[in-house]
A = this chain, B = another copy of it.
Amino acid sequence: MTSPGRRLTQQDIARIAGVSQTTVSLVLNNRTDAEVRIAPETRERVLRVIRETGYVADPVARRLAERRNRILGVFTYEAVFPTASADFYHPFLLGIEECAEEIGCDLLLFTSARAAGERRRIFNEDSRVRLADGCLLLGRAVDRDDLARLLAEGIPFVSIGRRDDAGAPVPYVGADYPPAVRALVDRTARLGHRRLAYVGTGAGAESPADRMRGFREAVAAVGVEGLHVPVTGRTPGELLDDVSAAGVSAILVEEPADAVAITHAAGERGLSVPGDLSVLALGAPTRPVPVDVDFTGFRIPRREMGRRAVELLAELLGNGGGTPQELLSCELVEGSTLAPNRS
C-alpha cells in the first residue's frame, strides 16, 4: 500500500510509468479525442500503475484547473440539521440529496458561515461560497443584500422558495401558493361560508405574502368577505374570540402549528371543528408540533422543490445563463376540517 508520508501525484505516477505527467492526465481523463492519442500499451501501463498505487486525483487541484468541482453548496440561514424545524426542512434536503446523487455531485453545507454568535451570512470576511460550483439557498427569510451580491458576482444559484427581485430577478423554485389558496377559498365559499379570515402575518417573507395575496384575490373574485387576523401577541383563545365576534365561519391559517393550537382552543371552548368553525391549514408546520388533526389544506411539494432546484442549478452550470423561475403547484389535501356553513 501507500506509505503514509506524502500523497501521490500525477508526477509520481508519471515517473513510475516512465511517461510525462501530461500523459497520466490524459489517460486518467480517458481522453480519446482525435487530437490526443495514447498507444494502447502506454495507456495500459499507466492504468496499471494507477491501480497498483491506488492513486486518485486531487479534486482540489482539479477544480483549480477546470472550472468545476461537482460540488453544490447548500446555504441555510438556520442550522441545516435544526432541532426546531427539522420536520419542515427535511423533505427539501431529501430532494436535494436525491438529485445531487443522480447527477454525481457532492453537497457542501456552509456551516462555517457564521460570525461568532450572529446569524449566518453568505458573505463574511472569508466567504466560501466559491468552493462550490453553484449553490442552493434554503430558508424562509433570505437576506436581500446577500441575494443582490450573489447576483452581482455572477455566482450561479437557485433559491428554494420564490424571491422578489433583489436588484435583478432571482432564480428560484417556489411553491405556487396563490392558486392553492384560491382553490381553498373557492371550496369554502361553495360550502356556504361568507366571511373568511386569513390568520397569520401575511407578510415578512415572500411565502406568507404569496398566500395572503392568493387569499385577497380569491375573496375578491368569489365575492365573499375576507378579514386578516394577525397572530402576534395573542393567545389562540383570544384569536378565536375575535374571529367569532367578527362572524367568521372559516379560517385559513398560514402556519399549521397555529392551526393545531387554535383547533385545541376551540375544543376547550366547546366549539366543534369543523361543525362550528372550519379550519384550513396553508402548508406544513414550520414549528414542531404533534399534528393530531387531519387538516384540510394543501401540501407544499417540498421534496420536488429540492429536486427541481438541483436540476435547474445543474442546467445553469451547464449553459451558464438564464434566470430560471419556477413555481410548483401545491396538491390539495382533502382533510376533515372543512364543512358546510351552519350559521
Contact = CB atoms under 8 A, between A and B. Distances in A.
Interface residues of A, number: 54
A127 interface: yes
Contact of A59 (B70, B80, B86, B128): B128
A149 B54 contact: yes
Nearest to A97: B81
B86 A90 contact: yes
Interface stretch (A99-107, A169-177, A267-275): A99-107
A97 B111 contact: yes
Interface in A46-76: 54, 56-61, 63-64, 69-71
B4 A154 contact: yes
Contacts of A71: 108, 131
Q: In the complex this chain forms, how many copies of it are found?
A: 2
Contacts of A98: 79
A335 to B, nearest CB: 20
Nearest to A79: B97
A153 interface: yes
Contacts of A27: none
Nearest to A89: B81
A5 to B, nearest CB: 8
A110 interface: yes
Contacts of A79: 94, 97-98, 101
Nearest to A1: B152
Contacts of A56: 123, 125-127, 129-130
A83 interface: yes
Interface string A15-58: 00000000000000000000000000000000000000010111
A53 to B, nearest CB: 10
A11 interface: no
Interface in A248-293: none
A130 B69 contact: no
A114 interface: yes
A170 to B, nearest CB: 14
Contact of A60 (B60, B82, B94, B100): B60
A94 B85 CA distance: 12
A71 B149 CA distance: 23
B154 A2 contact: yes
A126 B98 CA distance: 19
Nearest to A28: B126
Nearest to A76: B97
A93 interface: yes
Give 8 nearest A-B pairs by CB, closest first: A4-B154, A1-B152, A107-B109, A81-B93, A59-B131, A56-B127, A81-B94, A100-B111
Interface of A: 1-2, 4-5, 7, 54, 56-61, 63-64, 69-71, 79-83, 86, 90, 93-94, 96-98, 100-101, 104-114, 123, 125-131, 149, 152-154
Given A101-B111, A101-B112, A106-B109, 18 more contacts: A1-B152, A56-B127, A57-B126, A60-B60, A60-B130, A70-B112, A79-B94, A79-B101, A80-B107, A82-B94, A83-B94, A100-B112, A101-B114, A106-B111, A106-B112, A106-B113, A107-B111, A109-B109
